Amino acid sequence: MNVVYEVCCGRFTRPQFFLLLIIILDHGLDSVEGVWPLPQTLTSFTERYPLKPQAFYFDYRRQSAAQHGCSILDAAFKRYFSLTFPDYISAANGVLQITEDRPFIVKISVDRNDCENYPREDSSEKYNLSVSAEKAYLSAETVWGALRGLETFSQLVYQDDFGSYFVNKTEIEDFPRFQFRGILLDTSRHYLPVQTILKTLDAMAYSKFNVFHWHIVDDPSFPYQSCTFPDLSSKGAFHPMTHIYTHSDVRSVISYARLRGIRVLPEFDSPGHTKSWGKGQSNLLTPCYRRGIPSGTFGPVNPALPSTYQFMERLFKEVSSVFPDSYIHLGGDEVDFSCWRSNPYVQAFMQRMGFGADFTKLEAFYIEKIVNMTSLLNKTSIVWQDIFDYSERHRPLSVVEVWKQGCYLCEVRRVVKAGLRVILASPWYLDQPGPTHNWARYYTVWPLAFKGTEEQKKLVIGGEVCMWGEYVDATNLTPRLWPRANAAAERLWSDERQTSSVDKAFPRLQDFRCKLLRRGIQAEPLYVGHCKHEYQGV
Ligand SMILES: *[C@@H]1O[C@H](CO)[C@@H](O)[C@H](O)[C@H]1NC(C)=O
């Protein structure tokens, strides 16, 4: 008997039909997309379990009856339920429905009751995740670790071609390689609406970034609304009402970030990069001189006036209370000395201080005063590498951010040799467009590939992706950032030995990029290919 099967637009003999069936089924099963960034140890099995959104819940197990619920986890359960089951629209609106199915339970336990806290520089993000029949165990030392584990769990769940959900048996032990994994957004060169910042925080959590470095003010505009000095934004912002961040905006960014285990690190860059500050604060910037008379233009903050330090003290006092993070970024980069040099009062100050004609000494003097000011406010300060390069005694400095191109590892080595901590940004300047800015370039970065002791290498606390704002606003931020920033995310989280191959990482990153699209993040394509759920253009 010659049975012929009709499938769609073709007729097939029995062997052909079964071959086709295998291809279809196989395709349906091949979509266990890996986890990005790759966990430290991951063992996955071919045993798979079906998941039904209507028979699934997260169960937070309190350590003691006295312990209250955890608002961070409650909020996370809601988010991760939708992320785990992206096309599930619950008729009962999130309420567990009565079904015949035995529920799949994700049991979460956290050692420390730190639910009310703000993430700290040394917070543990370690977690263990074990997925087996009908249940998963997620255990962590802190609630921040639990958040990382929930993210991983959501990435383990996949759908077959018929839309059914599955998760394979899996064992994971995971922790970050570096404690500081940041993204810098620049809200001075272009104003970024609060919604855009929040969306970026969402995407950051998807690849386990944990620091939002908010380069909030700079030369072009001063959008931070200060209560102490309201003129700074009313005169220095692009628009005094629409292009500012009020205290309530800032608070909502901080609380949104905190719920995702992300710290918000504010940067108030000085003495350079401060043109916009001068609009709302007279006598702050240095008047530049030409042929002995003021030319009408202004340079960096004037380091020769006591009033400058009184102003900075009051501003940083406010900023320190608005931003709860233990770190503050003081900038200190790219100071143009020509205006200082032209000003006779600054020159006289130089003579009095015995700085000769060395303006790097003047800048070091200025920054030392600001650093001391902020350390009295219990903040650890970060400065751009320029300050380190200028200071002979690095005494008040603690964290240096290396940003210059060229031999950046040489610089990293110099900084750690001086016993200071380093954040590496040089290889991750993502604001430039163009085909040469291939993701692999951000992936093949080896932050510890310099000669140094174990102790010195520990001083490299992490790295940061910088998205400067000259050519970036809310229209193109997301595709310019993702998925290229994800390359840096994996470099900063995962074991280098397991993630050294670009070829191996590529399909996993392509899958992850599709996952980002599914989650509403308009990540740009890496190369030729397709996603099961394409971006629909709305
Ligand atoms: C998950 O299970 C399926 C079906 O048993 C198998 O085809 C697939 O390779 C497994 N995935 C992983 C990552 O082990």
Tens of each residue's pLDDT in the chain, 538 residues: 444 444 444 454 554 544 444 443 433 333 445 899 999 999 999 999 999 999 999 999 776 655 667 999 999 999 999 999 998 876 555 555 566 778 999 999 999 878 889 999 999 999 999 999 999 999 999 999 999 999 999 999 999 999 999 999 999 999 999 999 999 999 999 999 999 999 999 999 999 999 999 999 999 999 999 999 999 999 999 999 999 999 999 999 999 999 999 999 999 999 999 999 999 999 999 999 999 999 999 999 999 999 999 999 999 999 999 999 999 999 999 999 999 999 999 999 999 999 999 999 999 999 999 999 999 999 999 999 999 998 877 778 999 999 999 999 999 999 999 999 999 999 999 987 766 668 999 999 999 999 999 999 999 999 999 999 999 999 999 999 999 999 999 999 999 999 999 999 999 999 999 999 999 999 999 999 999 999 988 6
Tokens of residue 115, six digits: 């639910």
Q: Is the CB of 42 under 6 A from ligand 1?
A: no
**149 CA to centre of ligand 1 in angstroms:** 20
Q: Indicate whether 105 and 213 sit together in one domain.
A: no
| Residue 87: predicted pLDDT | 86
Q: Indicate whether 196 and 168 sit together in one domain.
A: no
Q: Chain-wide mean pLDDT for the chain?
A: 91
The answer to whether the bond into 37 is cis (omega within 30° of 0) is yes
User: Does 516 reside within a domain?
Assistant: no
Q: Indicate whether 111 and 253 sit together in one domain.
A: no
User: Does 524 reside within a domain?
Assistant: no
**Distance between CA atoms of 207 and 200, rounded to whole angstroms?**
11
| Residue 275: predicted pLDDT | 98
Q: Indicate whether 149 and 241 sit together in one domain.
A: no
| Residue 29: predicted pLDDT | 36
Look up residue 345 and give its amino acid.
Answer: Y
- CATH, residue 111: 3.30.379.10
Tokens of residue 423, six digits: 């954040």
User: Does 528 reside within a domain?
Assistant: no
Q: Indicate whether 159 and 207 sit together in one domain.
A: no
User: Does 488 reside within a domain?
Assistant: yes
User: Does 128 reside within a domain?
Assistant: yes
Q: Indicate whether 48 and 166 sit together in one domain.
A: yes
Q: Is the CB of 48 under 6 A from ligand 1?
A: yes
- The CB-side HSE value for 493 (13 A sphere, CA atoms) comes to 31
334 is catalytic: yes
- Domain hosting 331: range is 180-285+297-336+356-501
| Atom 10 (ligand 1) nearest CA | 46
| Residue 412: predicted pLDDT | 98
Secondary structure letter of residue 407 according to DSSP: S
Tokens of residue 119, six digits: 């993430």
Nearest atom, ligand 1, residue 44 CA: 14
Given a contact cutoff of 8 angstroms between Cβ atoms, the answer to whether 283 and 302 are in contact is yes
Q: How many domains does one find in the chain?
A: 2
**Distance between CA atoms of 315 and 296, rounded to whole angstroms?**
26
Nearest atom, ligand 1, residue 47 CA: 5
**131 CA to centre of ligand 1 in angstroms:** 13
**536 CA to centre of ligand 1 in angstroms:** 29
**Distance between CA atoms of 443 and 171, rounded to whole angstroms?**
26
Q: Which of 47, 134, 334, 470 is catalytic?
A: 334
Q: Indicate whether 381 and 305 sit together in one domain.
A: yes
Query: What pLDDT, in 10s, does the model give residues 28-79?
Result: 333 445 899 999 999 999 999 999 999 999 999 776 655 667 999 999 999 9
